[in-house]
Amino acid sequence: MSTAAPTTPARDARASRWRRGHSGEFTPLAVLAALIGAAVALPAVYLFIVVGGDWDVAVDAVWRERTLWLLVRSLGLAGAVAVGATTLAVPLAWLTVRSDLPGRRVWAVLVLLPFVVPSYIGAYLLVSALGPRGVIVREVLAPLGIDSIPSIYGFWGAAAVLTAFTYPLVLLPVRAALRRMDPSLEEAARGMGAGQLRVARTVVLPQLVPAIGAGALLAVLYAMSDFGAVSILRYDSFTRVIYQNYRLSFERAGAAALGVVLILVMVILIVIEGRMRRRAGYHRNAPGVAKPAAPVPLGAWRYPAFAFCAAVVGLTLVLPLGVLVYWASRTAGTTVDWGEFGQAALNSIVTAALAAGIALVAAVPIARLGARYPGRASRGIEAAHHAGYALPHLVVALALVFLGIRLVPWAYQSLGMAVFALVVIYVPLAIGALRASMLQVSPSLEDAARGMGRGSLGVLVTITAPLVRPGVFAAATLVYIGAIKELPAMLLLAPTGYDTLATMIWGETSRSVFEAAALPSLVLLAVSAPVLALLVGRER
Amino acid sequence: MRRWTGIVAASCAALAVVVGLAACGGDDGESGTTGGGDVSELTVYSGRSEDLVAPLFERFTDETGIELSVRYGDTAEMAATVVEEGDRSPADVFFGQDGGALGSLEAEGLLAPLPEDTLSPVPAAFRSPDGRWVGTSGRVRVLGYDTRVLDEADLPASVFDLTDERWSGRVGWAPTNASFIAFVTAMRAEVGDEVTETWLRDMQANGAVAFERNGVLRDAIANGEVEVGLLNHYYIAQARAELADPDSYPVGTHYFPGGDVGSLINVAGAGVITATDKQEAAEQLIAYLLSPESQEFFVEETKEYPVVEGIDGPAGLPPLSSIEQPDINLNELSDLRGTLALIEQAGIL
């Protein structure tokens, strides 16, 4: 009698402890993960050094009504973004993976594409389109008699814009989870008479919780650390104080202390996310291989589903793209240095690819630790891995300037240092996707292989790796796209004269010549989008 | 043993990759000798954009043979970088958009004193009292206004008049901008903290619209989103210069008369980093930025004012000498933290 039932938490915990004691893999794995965690948590070290050097100023910067109020504002925004991103991502993932939505492979790519738009550009584009004197209001709504629309500035605008560009962070892991899910559970439930919705709620959704948690954590941390978008959308947030301290009053210790606060928030969020993960197992216990799920027929629901996808893609992709194309056309007459463009594009691609590769490797130990040996140790090490991602990127860059020039002066302002910064910032993007994929591989497969004499690394390479391939590609893609958008780290740490598309865009916007930024922005999207398309395309 | 070999091998491979990358572009050793003598390369950190100043740097290289390796970035972030680098900074010269960043570098002891003959052509108001940095071009705080809706005669004589009810909701500003901070610092020096805080609160209560950048503010005036705005003169001049018919540009420039603090002159400037070992060549670059041809370059290209006597200001704008200045000099503008605290207290930031 095959049991495809999920295991219970208690059984899982016992199994975990047994495995920990008997597989011999735990200690070297934990040590390796801890070492990597220490390396990518270097920005936190900088923060403590700076705060320690000027304790009074540091405490004063934090212990202020305004600071605490802004922390609340940022948390509120981050919460709204988490809810919004999940609300968009889960239905979209289900529609593009499990349903018979016409053109779902195309939709699958389109709904992921907003992630390639840097949030500072995206925010500016959406303001240009939907602001009080925006293109949409002037050209489309005014002729229809509509004079004004709800303001894009402030909390709701910031939440909407950040959601628009971060929901793919939830979408990718949920997609991967849906694809690896064993449909026999759902079939069993349906066989027992449960309706479609009930199956979705009680069988599918609980299995998606780790993926949602992982994605939502990333979206929340992004919303907490972002500065570009919230400043354009005029939402007073915690990062604003950090930036002010660095850029207006040149108060390092104050800024560093605020960075420490963000780290603490991140640790709390990791603990919460860990709780969300501590649920039933998700791997198939029965013998045999899970067959791919048959597409669920939508019937009449196909039209609302279509409209939903179209609305999301329209607002988050078509609209910003439209503004970019419009601006690019306005600069059509000006001379373009294609050589410079090509070099910047190449630099962007190379740097991002290197970062993706290294981040992927760096993420493997902690992903495996979190999947197979969940517990306080793994969660602590995981928190260390998230230090760079939780901080505003300017802080990470300055931290690496400080430490880099003192610890490895020969590597200061080298490509290696820039790539290291990218890994420090973006490794969490790889961890979630990898771990969620690993969770869906049955440990009994690995235990069997180990029982037959294969070493731990051998098991990892020959048994686990092929099964977690979707997670690997998702992880690498996420880091690639995150890294190719990166700005502060490249400005401060890349070799002098090493232009990327992001720094080119910044150069134009810093002179307030926003139309000139359109062309490099389009090129940036052009070198990122195919990677996403590739990711989706290679599935099935 | 077996379980460790694989992991160790993989770690070594990864380490090798990283070290290899570090070799690409890291400190390739010193180019150019130490001290004076035959220096062939200088490292510059520039907060001024590449599009703007690259031609100037090229000219310097042509004339002196000294190559410039220029790092472009945001002025404040570049200054913060130099502070983090400390006395190991690879930079020789810092070229910034505003005096605040230079002042903070000076306060951290990161700028070297400049020779007297480099400093002398520049009035004392445009350089630091210790002679550690010098202004290279001037930017005046002005009131930009929508020419389609307002005439010069409608405009206030003093920046303090903007808190009047008739300007309610019609004024834009960019309070997170460095030049605004400098302007408020000047106001504090001129009229004291209390009056300044009151003005800030009244402006806020009067519905002043905040923009994150001066350029965005200028565009908002041109768009009709606000009617007047406090910004730097050259944003408007530059926008006009882009058009075939400059006078068709809907934003006009109003200079507050009578030495009102609203017409403060800020400077972009440069200094030599103390960590440098190419002092002489670095000073040569600074002197070059103050040469007549460079000053004229700033006038032509960015529509800024020259800081050196005897050079004409930008065409179509009142000469610097005619703009009455508030009775403060830039040395008094160093208390940025105090200003920031005040602005926060007023609830603006």
Name residue B251's beta-bridge partners.
B146
* Residues B254 and B286 placed together within one structural domain of the fold: no
Q: What pLDDT digit, counting tens, does each position of B269-310 carry?
A: 999 999 999 999 999 999 999 999 999 999 998 889 999 888
* Residues B237 and B295 placed together within one structural domain of the fold: no
Asked if B74's CB is within 8 angstroms of A510's CB, the reply is: yes
Give the model's pLDDT for residue B15: 66
Q: How far is CA A390 from CA A222, A371, A484, in A?
A: 7, 22, 18
* Residues B339 and B270 placed together within one structural domain of the fold: no
* Residues B58 and B125 placed together within one structural domain of the fold: yes
**In angstroms, rounded to a whole number, what is the distance separating the alpha carbons of residues A157 and A122?**
12
Instruction: Give how far A174 is from chain B: nearest CA, Å.
Output: 30
Confidence of residue B4 (pLDDT cuts 50, 70, 90): low
Pairing state between β B111-112 and B251-254: unpaired
Q: How far is CA A149 from CA A67, A128, B212, in A?
A: 32, 13, 22
End-to-end CA distance of chain A, in Å? 30
Out of A133, A250, A458, name the one closest to residue B336 (CB): A250
Asked if A457's CB is within 8 angstroms of B49's CB, the reply is: no
pLDDT averaged per 10 residues, chain A (length 540): 50 66 77 94 94 90 87 96 96 91 89 91 87 79 78 90 94 84 82 80 84 91 93 88 84 91 94 75 56 80 92 92 87 77 93 96 92 87 94 95 94 94 95 81 80 78 80 88 93 93 86 78 91 77
Give the model's pLDDT for residue A47: 95
Query: B50: which chain A residues are within 8 Å (Cβ-Cβ)?
Result: 507
Query: B93: which chain A residues are within 8 Å (Cβ-Cβ)?
Result: none
Confidence of residue B27 (pLDDT cuts 50, 70, 90): very low
Asked if B210's CB is within 8 angstroms of A512's CB, the reply is: no
Closest A-chain CA to B216: A512
Supply φ then ψ for residue A132, to 5 degrees.
Answer: -60, -30
Q: What pLDDT digit, counting tens, does each position of B144-166 carry?
A: 999 999 998 989 989 999 998 99
Asked if A28's CB is within 8 angstroms of B7's CB, the reply is: yes
Chosen from A232, A510, A514, A515 to mutate, greatest number of chain B CBs within 10 A: A510
- Token code pair at residue A131: 């602001």
Give the model's pLDDT for residue A2: 35
- Chain centroid to CA B63: how far? 26
* Residues B176 and B130 placed together within one structural domain of the fold: no
**In angstroms, rounded to a whole number, what is the distance separating the alpha carbons of residues A82 and A213?**
9
- What is the average per-residue pLDDT within B323-331? 70
Counted domains in chain B: 2
Chosen from B49, B77, B176 to mutate, greatest number of chain A CBs within 10 A: B77
Q: Which of B265, B320, B304, B297 is nearest to B137 (CA)?
A: B304
* Residues B124 and B214 placed together within one structural domain of the fold: no
CB of B4 within 8 A of CB of A28?
yes
Chosen from B1, B2, B3 to mutate, greatest number of chain A CBs within 10 A: B3
Asked if A413's CB is within 8 angstroms of B26's CB, the reply is: yes
Name residue B267's beta-bridge partners.
B138
Chosen from B30, B48, B83, B85 to mutate, greatest number of chain A CBs within 10 A: B85
Spatial neighbors of B96 by CB under 8 A, at least 6 apart, are B46, B47, B48, B75, B78, B79, B102, B268, B269, B270
Instruction: Give how far A252 is from chain B: nearest CA, Å.
Output: 8
Asked if A497's CB is within 8 angstroms of B19's CB, the reply is: no
Task: Tell me which of A35-44, B164-173, B252-261 is least confident.
Answer: B252-261
Q: Which of A501, A366, A479, A498 is nearest to A422 (CA)?
A: A479
Q: Which of B320, B302, B272, B288 is nearest to B111 (CA)?
A: B272
pLDDT score of B247 more than 80: yes
Asked if A409's CB is within 8 angstroms of B22's CB, the reply is: no
Give the model's pLDDT for residue A75: 96
Query: A25: which chain B residues are within 8 Å (Cβ-Cβ)?
Result: 3
Q: Which of A410, A415, A419, A472 is nearest to A441 (CA)?
A: A472
Could you tell me which residue, B15 or A401, shows the higher pLDDT? A401
pLDDT score of B36 more than 60: no
How many cross-chain Cβ pairs, A to B, lie less than 8 Å apart? 166
Name the 3-class secondary structure at A412.
coil
Asked if B50's CB is within 8 angstroms of A416's CB, the reply is: no
Q: Radius of gyration (Cα) for chain B, nearest Å?
A: 23
Instruction: Give how far B337 is from chain A: nearest CA, Å.
Output: 5
Which class would CATH give A22-281+295-537?
A: mainly alpha
Closest B-chain CA to A420: B18
How many C-beta atoms lie closer than 10 Å to residue A216's C-beta?
28
* Residues B132 and B152 placed together within one structural domain of the fold: no
* Residues B75 and B187 placed together within one structural domain of the fold: no
Q: Radius of gyration (Cα) for chain A, nearest Å?
A: 23
Domain enclosing residue B199, as ranges: 139-264+335-345
**In angstroms, rounded to a whole number, what is the distance separating the alpha carbons of residues B343 and B340?**
5
Instruction: Give how far A528 is from chain B: nearest CA, Å.
Output: 23
Chosen from B41, B46, B81 to mutate, greatest number of chain A CBs within 10 A: B81
Supply φ then ψ for residue B144, to 5 degrees.
Answer: -80, 145
AA letter at A453: G
Give the model's pLDDT for residue B331: 63
Asked if A252's CB is within 8 angstroms of B216's CB, the reply is: no
Give the model's pLDDT for residue B293: 92
Element (H, E) at B271: strand B265-273
**In angstroms, rounded to a whole number, what is the distance separating the alpha carbons of residues A243 and A250?**
9
Asked if B71's CB is within 8 angstroms of A457's CB, the reply is: no
Confidence of residue B10 (pLDDT cuts 50, 70, 90): low
Out of A25, A414, A458, name the one closest to residue B26 (CB): A414
Instruction: Give how far A67 is from chain B: nearest CA, Å.
Output: 10
Q: What pLDDT digit, counting tens, does each position of B89-138 carry?
A: 999 999 998 888 898 899 899 999 999 999 999 988 888 888 999 999 99
DSSP characters over A137-157: IIIIIGGGT----S-SSSHHH
Give the model's pLDDT for residue B29: 41
Give the model's pLDDT for residue B35: 43
CATH number at residue B233: 3.40.190.10
* Residues B206 and B339 placed together within one structural domain of the fold: yes
Out of B2, B22, B83, name the one closest to residue A416 (CB): B22
Instruction: Give how far B88 is from chain A: nearest CA, Å.
Output: 7
* Residues B152 and B289 placed together within one structural domain of the fold: no
What's chain B's average pLDDT? Answer: 85
**In angstroms, rounded to a whole number, what is the distance separating the alpha carbons of residues A229 and A392?**
12
pLDDT score of B31 more than 90: no
Q: Is residue B25 a part of any domain in this protein?
A: no
Give the position of tokens 């738009």.
A117
| Domain extents in chain A | 22-281+295-537
ipTM value:
0.87
